[in-house]
Amino acid sequence: MTTEPGEPSGDRGQEKLTLVQLLPNMLTVVAICAGLTAIRSGLQGSYEVAVQLILLAAVLDGMDGRLARALKSESGMGAELDSLADFLNFGVAPGMLLYTWALEDSRSVGWLAVLTFAICSVVRLARFNVQRKSEDKSHDNAYFTGVPSPAGAMLVMLPMFLSFGLGTGPVLPDVILAIWMVIIGLLMISRIPTWSFKTTRIPRKNAKFFLVAVAVALAAAVTYAWITLVAFCVAYVASVIIMLPRRRRAMSDD
C-alpha cells in the first residue's frame, strides 16, 4: 500500500496529539483570523480596531513558537503555518490598511507601494525559512538579516499610530506615505543586521530595573496607547542605527 505525497505513513500517521500539544498551532490559526478580520475592519472604516487586531496577531506570533518549543511540539507543519500567518498578518494586512486609510485616492501609486511591501515581505520570509532550514549553523542568532516582518508591519503603520494619537486624519501626503511603505519593504529584504531581542540577556543586578521599566511601558501603553506605540517604533529605529556599527565591527573582526 502506498501513500500520497505529503501523507504521513505508518505509525506516524496514527500518532495522537493532545490539545495542549496543538495549542501553538491553535494560536497561529487565531492570529490568521485576527489578520483577516483586520482587513475586513479596515474595509469597513474601523481602522483603530483593525490596527489593534494586527497588534494582537503580533503578540500571538511571539507566543506560538516559544510555546511550541516549551511543549516540545514543534513540527514542519507548524513552521510553515507560522510563515503563512506572518505573510498575511504582517505583509498583506498592514499594506491594505494603509491603502484604504489614506492611499486609495492615489490609485496606482498607492497600490504599487502596497504590492512592493507585500512582495518584500514574502521574499524576506522565504529567505528566513531558507536560513532556518540550512545546515550552516554559523549564522549569528543575536541578529536578524533585515527588519523582521512584525517590526516592518509596526513601522509601516507608524503614520497611523501618530494620526490616532493626535486625533487627526493622515498627517503625511499620499506620496510620502507610499514612499515610506516602499522604504520599509526594502529594509525588510536588506542585508542590514537588526537586533534580535530573543537572545538578549539582562544582568541579574539590573533585573529589578528592567522589570520596573516594563511595568512603566505597559502602563504607558494602556494609558496612551498610540503615542506609546510611536515611541516604541522610534526606539526600535534608534536601536537599529546604534547597533549597526557595532555589528559591522564584530563582522570585520571575525
Strands, E, within 127-196: which ranges? 143-145, 193-195
For 59-102, what is each residue's pLDDT tens digit? 998 888 778 777 777 777 878 888 899 999 999 999 999 999 99
> What DSSP designation does 9 have?
-
**CA nearest 196: which of 147, 142, 250, 129?**
142
Q: Which fold has domain 19-133+144-253?
A: Four Helix Bundle (Hemerythrin (Met), subunit A) (1.20.120)
Give the residue from 73, 84, 87 showing the smallest Cα distance to 117. Answer: 87
Structure confidence by residue, pLDDT tens digits, 6-20: 555 545 555 676 777
Give the per-residue pLDDT at 12. Answer: 52
Domain limits, the chain = 19-133+144-253
Matching residue, cell 492615489: 106
| Cell numbers describing residue 233 | 517604533
Residue 102 one-letter amino acid: A
Residue with cell 515610506: 180
What lies within 8 Å, CB to CB, of 244 at 6+ separation is: 192, 193
Q: Which of 129-133, 164-168, 207-211 shows the lowest per-residue confidence on average (mean pLDDT)?
A: 129-133
What pTM value is reported for the model?
Answer: 0.83
Q: Name the range with the highest mean pLDDT among 121-125, 136-140, 194-198.
A: 121-125
- pLDDT value of position 253: 46
Q: Which residues contact 179 (CB under 8 A, 6 or more apart)?
A: 113
